[in-house]
A and B are shown apart, each in its own frame.
Chain A
Amino acid sequence: MKRYAYYLSCINESMTKEVDRSIALWQKDLGIELVHLHESTCCGGSNLDYVSPKHFALVNARNIAHAEKMGLDLVVSCNTCLMTIRSAKKKLDASPELRAEVNEILKKEGLEYRGTSEVRHLLWVLIDDVGLEAIKSKVKVPLSKYRIAPFYGCHILRPSTVLGKDNPLDPSSLDQLIEALGGKTIPYRHKNRCCGFHTLLVAEEESLSVAAEALGEAIEEKADFIVTPCPLCHTVLDGYQSKALKQAHIHSSIPVFHLSEMVGLALGYSPKELGIKRHIVS
Chain B
Amino acid sequence: MTVTSEQHIEGKRDVTFRVFRLNPQVDSKPYFDDYTIPVERGITVLRALNYIKENIDASVSYRVFCQAGICGSCGMRINGISKLACTTQVWDELPKCREAGIIKIEPLRNLPLLKDLIVDMDPLVGKMKHYRNWVESSMPEPEMGKKEFLVSEEEFSRYDKATDCILCASCVSECSILRANKEYVSPAVLLKSYRMNVDTRDSLHDVRLAELVQDHGVWDCTHCYRCQETCVKNIPIMEAIHGIREDAIECRGLKDSAGAKHAEAFMSDIEKKGKLVEATLPFRTNGVAWTVKNLLPMAVKMIMKRRTPPPPPLVKSSKGMKQFREEFREMTEHVKDDHKTHNK
Residues of A within 8 A of B (CB): 10-11, 13-17, 38-42, 44-55, 58-59, 62, 101-102, 105-106, 108-109, 154-155, 157-160, 168-170, 189, 193-194, 196-199, 201-207, 209-210, 213, 239-240, 243, 277-280
Q: Which residues of A contact B40 (CB under 8 A)?
A: none
Q: Which residues of A contact B266 (CB under 8 A)?
A: 42, 44-45, 47-48, 51
Mask of B294-335 contacts with A, CB within 8 angstroms, 1/0 = 100010011001111110000110111001101110111011
| Interface: B222 (CB within 8 A) | yes
Q: Are B228 and A158 in contact (CB under 8 A)?
A: yes
Listed residue (A55, A197, A202, A278) with the most chain B CB atoms within 10 angstroms of its CB: A202
Q: Which residues of B contact A40 (CB under 8 A)?
A: 274, 318
Min Cβ gap A182→B in Å is 25
Task: Select A278's contact among B254, B307, B323, beta carbons within 8 Å.
Answer: B307
A211 to B, closest residue via Cβ: B180
Task: Please report the C-alpha to C-alpha distance between residue A279 and residue B301 in the assembled complex, in whole angstroms.
Answer: 10
| Interface: B167 (CB within 8 A) | no
Q: Which residues of B contact A53 (CB under 8 A)?
A: 246
Q: Are A202 and B285 in contact (CB under 8 A)?
A: yes
Q: Are B226 and A194 in contact (CB under 8 A)?
A: yes
Q: Are B264 and A278 in contact (CB under 8 A)?
A: no
Q: Which residues of A contact B81 (CB under 8 A)?
A: 169
Q: Are A10 and B278 in contact (CB under 8 A)?
A: yes
Q: Which residues of B contact A158 (CB under 8 A)?
A: 224-226, 228-229
List 17 A-B pairs, Cβ < 8 Å: A10-B275, A10-B278, A40-B274, A45-B276, A47-B267, A51-B249, A51-B267, A52-B335, A55-B267, A59-B270, A158-B225, A158-B226, A160-B229, A199-B220, A202-B258, A206-B220, A206-B222
Given pairs A106-B327, A202-B219, 14 additional interface contacts (CB within 8 A): A10-B276, A13-B275, A39-B318, A39-B319, A51-B249, A51-B264, A54-B335, A109-B323, A154-B225, A155-B225, A198-B224, A210-B176, A239-B302, A239-B307
Q: Which residues of A contact B315 (CB under 8 A)?
A: 14
Q: Are A42 and B262 in contact (CB under 8 A)?
A: no
| Interface: B15 (CB within 8 A) | no
Q: Are A203 and B177 in contact (CB under 8 A)?
A: yes
Q: Are A243 and B298 in contact (CB under 8 A)?
A: yes
Task: Select A14's contact among B243, B246, B309, B327, beta carbons within 8 Å.
Answer: B309
Task: Please report the C-alpha to C-alpha distance between residue A243 and residue B298 in the assembled complex, in whole angstroms.
Answer: 9
Min Cβ gap B78→A in Å is 11
| Interface: B245 (CB within 8 A) | yes
| Interface: B223 (CB within 8 A) | yes
Q: Are B270 and A42 in contact (CB under 8 A)?
A: yes
Q: Are A62 and B223 in contact (CB under 8 A)?
A: no
Q: Which residues of B contact A277 (CB under 8 A)?
A: 305
Task: Please report the C-alpha to C-alpha distance between residue A14 and residue B312 in the assembled complex, in whole angstroms.
Answer: 11
A196 to B, closest residue via Cβ: B222
B334 to A, closest residue via Cβ: A54
